[in-house]
Every structure is written in C-alpha cells, then in structure tokens.
A and B are shown apart, each in its own frame.
Chain A
C-alpha cells in the first residue's frame, strides 16, 4: 500500500533512489523529444512541451536529491517472489486470452493466483470450497459479459483448430 494509508510506517532514505528516478525521467523526457522529431509540428507541439516540463521537473528533483536527504517512501516488507509471480501470471493470462480462450485461461489464471495468495495449508475441503467459489465467479462474469451485456469474449484459437 502507499504510505498514504500507512501513516506510522517508518520511512526509508530515498535520496539515492530519487537521483535514479530523476535520471530515468530525464531519459524519458529526452526520449520523447528525440522520438517526436519526425512528427508533424502541429502534432509535436504538445508532447514536446510536456517533455520539456518533465525535463525541468526532473532536473529540479535531481538538484534537490544532491542538496538534501529525503525520506519519502516506506520500508518495503513482504514476499518478493509472490509479487513477481503475481505479475507474471497476470501477464501470461493476458497473452494467452486469445490462444487458450477466455474460460480456459481464466480458470487456469484464478487457480494459480489462489495458490499464490494462500498462506496457510491446504485441506481437501478448503481446496474444493475455494475451487467451486472461483469457478462460480468465472461463470458469473462470463454470463454477465458474454450473454447479458453481449461483450464477445475469445473462444480460443487453440480449440478452434482442434
């Protein structure tokens, strides 16, 4: 969560990370100007102006990070592998939507995420209850979007080929 919601969490020294952030933003600003050089002047004026604004703000942050120390972010705790796994699973889910189809990719996706989000031991009863609840969720949203709201969901190119 953001430190906004955790007022009592000790803040870490962000001076070095501020320098890195400022340099990254400077690179993005210069990149926006560089990659915008082939665009017509009328379409270039706004992104170029915003890139210049970003450059100025990043330069200010860089100066500030060299002048005084800052403590503007909370100490990070918790499982890093679980975080990375979560992002990877959702990414794979997104990439396989068209190939596996909505139902198959969603059932696989929610099953893996349930494993990642669970910290206690698994019992057969718990696995069955959670499995049924997640299947019901997938079914409900499939019916809501595909049948009721008429939003076409991918059937899966894999199954169409078989």
Chain B
C-alpha cells in the first residue's frame, strides 16, 4: 500500500505538468537531427536544480522518454535519425513514408514507443534489483564482444553485399580511432591538425552520413520528396492498432530486448533497436519485406528503444552505474543536488523512486496523445513543403545541430565531407549505417579490446581472456549466428535446389 501511495504522488498537478512539458520538449528536441536524447536531457538539466529529487527525476525522465520517441519523426520523414537509437527506424520507416504511409509509420512508432516505454517502466519496478546484479558480471572483454555483436548485426542487416557492410563497419571503427586514444591518451591520425585532436564527433558524423546524402538526392530531381497521403485518412489509429495487435509478440520481444540491453551499462538504445530489428526479421514469415517498408520493423525498433528508458534506470538507480548516456547526465544532475543513488533507492529512499516511477509511467502514457497529435501534423507538413524550402531548412538544421555540439565550425566541415563521402560510398554499395555504428561502438570496442589485450598479456593467455568466459562465448555464438544466418539465407535463395537436397 505504501508503494501505491508513492506511485500516486506522481499525480499531483505539478508533477503532471512536468511530465507533459518534459515529453513535449523531449519530442521536439529529439526530432531535430543533431540534438540527441543525451543533449536534450543535458541542456535542460539546469532547470531541475531548484526542484525536489522526485520532480527533477520526473522532468528529466519525461524529457528522455520524449526525446527517444521524437527521434523517430525525422527517421521516418527525412531518413535522418533524430537520435542514434532511431537509426534502425530509418530502415522501414522511411520506405513507408516514401510509399505514402508516413502517417501510419508515425502512428505505429507512437504506439510502439508507448508500449515499449510502459514495459521498461514495469521492468524497472519489478525486476530492477535482480537484473542489475547480472549486468555487473560483464567485464571489458564482454563489452568488446557486445560492440562487435552490434556491428555484425547491422552489417548482416544491411541491404546488398554483407562483405561491403563489414568494410563499412571497419571504416567506422577506424574513424573512431582518430584523435586522442581511449586508452593511453596518444594522439592518432590527427596529421598535426588541432581540430582532429578531439576526434570525429559522433553526432556530427551521424548527421552528415544520414542527412547530406538525402539532401544531395533531393536537389538532383524535381520529383516530390515523399508520396502525398490520400486525403481523409485521419490518424489511422484503427489500422495502427490492428498492426500492433498482429505484431504484439514482436513488440513484447523487442521490449524485453530493449530492457535487457539497457541494463548493460554503456549499451544504449542504438544497440537495442538494432538487435530487436534483427530478431524481428529473423522471426518474421516474410523477412524479405524488411527494409522495404515493413511495419513490423518500425514496431520492433521503436518499442525496443523506448524500453531502454526504464531499463536504463535500473542500474542507474540501483547501482549508481548509468545504463545509457542520458542516464549518466541524470545521475550527474542528482549528484549535484546531493542525492545519492544506490541500493537504498528501493529501500530507505523508495518514496523518491516510486514517485519517479509513477511520473515516468504518466509521461509514457501522455506521450501517446501528444505524439499522435504532433505526428499527424508533422507528416502532413513535411509532405507539403516544397523542395526550395525543405532543402535549405534541413541543411540549416544539420549545420546548427552539428555546430551546437562543440561550438566548432570544423565539425560542420567534417560533417559535410563525411556526408559527401557517404553518398559516394553508398553508390559503391556501402550503406551509412555500418559506418555510423562503427563510429559509435568504436570507443566501447576499443576500451574492451585493449583492456582484454593487456589482461591477456599480463596472464600470458590472450585466448583464455577473449574466449574463455561463458558470457563471452555466449555473445560470440550470437555474433556467429547473426553473421551466418543471413549468409545461409542468401546462399539458399541463390541455390534453392542444392539447399533442398
């Protein structure tokens, strides 16, 4: 009963208002390419310094929830993920929009995000303490293998040649090594430029590789950017519910994956949504439809990345270890207030925790009407905007978004150069997603790899360090499966008779 009363404390007018404001602000910021969920939370943290810990957590949690969901808007409508966790949403969301189903894709994204978010919050309140202890068993080598798993998943998922996708991932990993080394602090591949000391900024690269090719293609032809929807279709809620109902197991599986991945410190929504997408395609009766506008692709990625919100709070609140990058910012904000997270969050400080959980629940629920409302007008607006306005507006957002990250004009130049190179590489069959994931997962992979390498050298058994632990072997098995199954499927398609015999 006590827990219930704490949960109800989230329903005070002030907390409700904070939840609504936070979700709305988060959606807008998350939808803008260049402003990630981490940045959304970070720029709005100062507002919470005068608040109680409960109110601060509710506001930050609501911003985080809204931003993760908001990232899907630009992923669906302009093929540019607003946040890294929406990368996989572009795979099917944008093809749906090109076919005139952008409104349905946004509705599905809203429903899936709400479902995934609710699952994550329920996991936070029920499984929190138990699951957090398992995540602690992950060592540096497991993180290395986890990053490689993320890369093999994206490479295996890419349309076209798997070999070229792996090359793209290797380019991304090499790009991630530019600048100061993660371990040791050496300067690498800076070629004497002080601008390259800080390395290739991940969000700038993400914006460039996804956004600039879209702009390059937009100005090439006079055709419409997206197919206009038929008139009078409304919000397509019934159609969305129907698809959600048929994809309920997909949404549940993706939410579970999102929650588990988020519990692993450092692994965020980008890995979760990719793994869920891969699983959704693997389990589908029609895997060929994925990548061409399959609604289940959107359901999988969006339910998964929003489940990471609640899941990521499990290690953040229970162990004081941030599950995802925005959690690290929220943790910092709480520490500034003098509030310490730890095991007592579900003990002595349970009033704060459960009120926050209630607030997160409210924020996730209000995301449904707010998201449907904004989403409807977002699609109608983007379809009706002429190219002469759309091109400069997108270019402007990419530039200001890139510049705002480090206040560095050189990042804008890097963003454009990478974008142009990405467009050329795409013409050669290398898609942007493996390169981007290589860049994002590079530092995680390198830290784990170098630490494992040092441990192996110190103990004299490199093989045992990298291949000796059951957890490592489990992840390696997943890597092999995610690589070999698509290769086998491709071979089977090319040689149907031999495969049958």
Residues of A within 8 A of B (CB): 1-5, 7, 14, 17-18, 20-21, 25, 28, 32, 35-36, 39-40, 42-47, 49-51, 53-54, 57-58, 60-61, 64, 70, 72-73, 76-80, 82-83, 85-87, 89-91, 93-95, 97-98, 102, 106, 109-111, 113-120, 130, 133-134, 137-138, 141, 145, 149-154
Bound together, the chains give a CA A12 to CA B173 distance in angstroms of 29
A54 with B395: CB separation less than 8 A: no
Which residue of B181, B189, B398 is within 8 Å of A35 (Cβ)?
A: B189
B400 at the interface (CB under 8 A from A): yes
Least CB distance, B415 to chain A, in whole angstroms: 8
Question: Which residues of chain B have C-beta atoms less than 8 A from A17's C-beta?
Answer: 427-428
- Asked, given contacts A42-B184, A50-B174, whether A114 binds B388 with beta carbons under 8 Å apart, the answer is yes
Closest CB of chain B to A7's CB: distance in Å?
6
Chain A interface helix/strand/loop/mixed: helix
CB-based contact B159/A43 at 8 Å? no
Q: Which 5 pairs, one residue from A and one from B, show the smallest C-beta to C-beta distance?
A: A78-B220, A94-B412, A117-B391, A118-B388, A43-B186
Sample of 11 more A-B contacts, CB < 8 Å, known A5-B94, A117-B219: A1-B217, A43-B188, A45-B453, A57-B167, A61-B164, A91-B417, A93-B412, A97-B399, A113-B391, A118-B388, A153-B403
Q: Quick check: A73 and B395 within 8 Å, CB to CB?
A: no
Does any Cβ of A come within 8 Å of B67's Cβ? Answer: no
Which residue of chain A lies nearest to B453 when distances are taken between CB atoms in the complex? Answer: A45
Nearest CB in chain B: distance from A152 CB, A: 6
A14 near B429: Cβ-Cβ < 8 Å: yes
- Chain B residues with CB under 8 Å of A25's CB are 167, 171
How distant is the Cα of A46 from the Cα of B228 in the complex, in angstroms? 48
Q: Which residues of A contact B212 (CB under 8 A)?
A: 87, 90
Contact A40 B184 (CB under 8 A): yes
B220 contacts which of A47, A79, A93, A98 (Cβ < 8 Å)? Answer: A79
Within 8 A of A (CB), among B187-208: 188-189, 191
A18 and B454 within 8 A (CB): no
Q: Which residue of A lies closest to B400 (CB)?
A: A141
- Known contacts A4-B431, A28-B174: does B219 contact A91 (CB below 8 Å)? no
Contact, CB under 8 Å: B393 / A110: yes
Contact A54 B171 (CB under 8 A): yes
**Are B174 and A51 closer than 8 Å at their CB atoms?**
yes
Q: Residue among A36, A42, A45, A94 with the most chain B CB within 10 A?
A: A94
- Contact partner, A83, options B191, B220, B431, Cβ 8 Å: B220
Taking chain B's interface residues, is the majority helix, strand, or loop, or is none over half, making it mixed? Answer: helix
Task: Type the 1/0 row for B213-226, where 1 means its CB is closer than 8 Å to any CB of A.
Answer: 11111111110000
| Alpha-carbon separation in the docked complex, A17 to B465 (Å) | 41
B207 to chain A, nearest CB (A): 11
How far is B32's CA from A75's CA once the two chains are assembled, in angstroms?
31
B-chain residues with CB within 8 Å of residue A72 when the two chains form the complex: 160-161, 164, 429
B392 close to A (CB within 8 Å)? yes
Task: Tell me the nearest residue of chain B to A138, going by C-beta.
Answer: B396
Note all chain B residues with C-beta closer than 8 A to A85: 219
Contact indicator B95/A93 (Cβ below 8 Å) = no
Q: Are B396 and A106 in contact (CB under 8 A)?
A: yes
CB distance from A145 to the nearest CB of B (A): 6
CB of A25 to closest CB in B, whole Å: 6
A5-B98, A117-B387 are contacts. A83–B219 as well, Cβ < 8 Å? yes
Q: Which of B451-493 contact A (CB under 8 A)?
A: 453-454
Contacts of B396 in A (CB 8 A): 106, 109-110, 137-138, 141
- For B138-177 the 0/1 string (1 means CB < 8 A from A) is 0000000000000000000001110110110011011001
Determine the distance from Cα of A12 to Cα of B311 in the docked complex, in whole angstroms.
45
Q: In the complex, which residues 366-394 of chain B have their Cβ closer than 8 Å to any Cβ of chain A?
A: 386-393
Does A118 contact B450, Cβ atoms closer than 8 Å?
no
Q: Is the CB of B177 within 8 A of A50?
A: yes
In the bound complex, how far is the Cα of B419 from the Cα of A151, in angstroms? 24
In the complex where A46-B177, A46-B450, A54-B174 touch, is A60 in contact with B220 (Cβ < 8 A)? no
B292 interfacial contact with A, CB 8 Å? yes
A2 to B417 Cα, complex, angstroms:
18
**Residue among A46, A53, A80, A109 making CB contact with B395, cutoff 8 Å:** A109
Residues of B within 8 A of A138 (CB): 396
Cβ distance A60 to chain B, nearest Cβ, rounded Å: 6
Q: Would you call B404 an interface residue if the criterion is a C-beta within 8 Å of the partner chain's C-beta atoms?
A: yes
**Is B302 located at the chain interface by the 8 A CB criterion?**
no
B122 in the interface (beta carbon within 8 A): no
Least Cβ–Cβ distance between B116 and chain A, in angstroms: 24
* Complex: chain A residue closest to B189, CB-CB: A35
User: CA A137 – CA B445 in complex, angstroms?
Assistant: 40
Across the interface, do B387 and A119 meet the contact criterion of CB distance under 8 Å?
yes
Known: A49-B449, A93-B412. A58 touches B167 (CB 8 A): yes
The reply on B328 being an interface residue by CB < 8 A is no
**Chain A residue at minimum C-beta to C-beta distance from B428:** A21
Distance to closest chain A CB from B157 (angstroms): 10
Alpha-carbon distance between A87 and B181 when the two chains are bound, in angstroms = 31
B54 at the binding interface (Cβ < 8 Å): no
Once the chains bind, are A114 and B161 in contact (CB under 8 Å)? no
Residues of chain A with a CB closer than 8 A to B136's CB: none
Interface string of B90-133 (1 = CB under 8 A from A): 01001100100000000000000000000000000000000000
B219, A7: Cβ atoms closer than 8 Å = no
Say if the beta carbon of B238 comes within 8 Å of chain A: no
Q: Is the CB of A54 within 8 A of B170?
A: yes
Q: B449–A45 contact, CB under 8 A?
A: yes
- Choose among B161, B163, B170, B392 the residue that contacts A110 (Cβ–Cβ < 8 A): B392
Contact between chains at A134 and B389 (CB < 8 Å):
yes
Decide yes or no whether B183 CB sits under 8 A from chain A: yes
- Which A residues are CB-close (under 8 A) to B407? 151-152
Contact of B392 among A21, A50, A87, A113 (CB under 8 A): A113
Show 15 A/B contacts (Cβ-Cβ < 8 Å), sorted by A: A17-B428, A46-B177, A47-B189, A53-B173, A57-B167, A73-B429, A90-B215, A93-B412, A106-B399, A110-B395, A113-B395, A115-B388, A118-B387, A120-B222, A138-B396
